[in-house]
């Protein structure tokens, strides 16, 4: 089983295609490979912490036979969109 992360943690180094806060997480095991893109914040230290938490959550879920979550931070997405 393997987990990998890559992206642009910030505070600089982003581009239009890969803005600061872009995170890719990948997981591979005997069941297959999955990768997803997340858009985090512009705070380097927080992005590093979140990348670690997401990766460990993916591993935990895979070991327990649970599906990987579609949304890791629904509160962040809801806060960025229109009020419900």
User: In angstroms, what CA-CA distances link 54 with 16, 23, 82, 84?
Assistant: 24, 10, 25, 26
- Find the mean pLDDT for residues 31-36: 92
The pLDDT of residue 77 is above 60: no
pLDDT at 34: 92
| pLDDT tops 50 at residue 78 | no
- Kindly state the average pLDDT of the residues 10-17: 85
Retrieve residue 3's tokens: 């987990």
Q: What is the pTM of this model?
A: 0.76
pLDDT of 69: 79
Instruction: Average the pLDDT over 51-74 and give the result.
Output: 85
pLDDT at 71: 65
């Amino acid at each position: 089983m393997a987990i990998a992360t890559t992206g642009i943690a910030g505070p600089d180094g982003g581009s239009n295609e890969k803005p600061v806060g872009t995170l890719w997480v990948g997981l591979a095991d005997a069941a297959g490979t999955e990768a997803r893109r997340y858009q985090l914040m512009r705070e380097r230290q927080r992005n590093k912490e979140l990348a670690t938490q997401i990766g460990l959550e993916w591993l935990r879920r895979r070991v327990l036979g649970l599906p990987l979550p579609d949304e890791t931070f629904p509160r962040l997405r809801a806060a960025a969109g229109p009020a419900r």
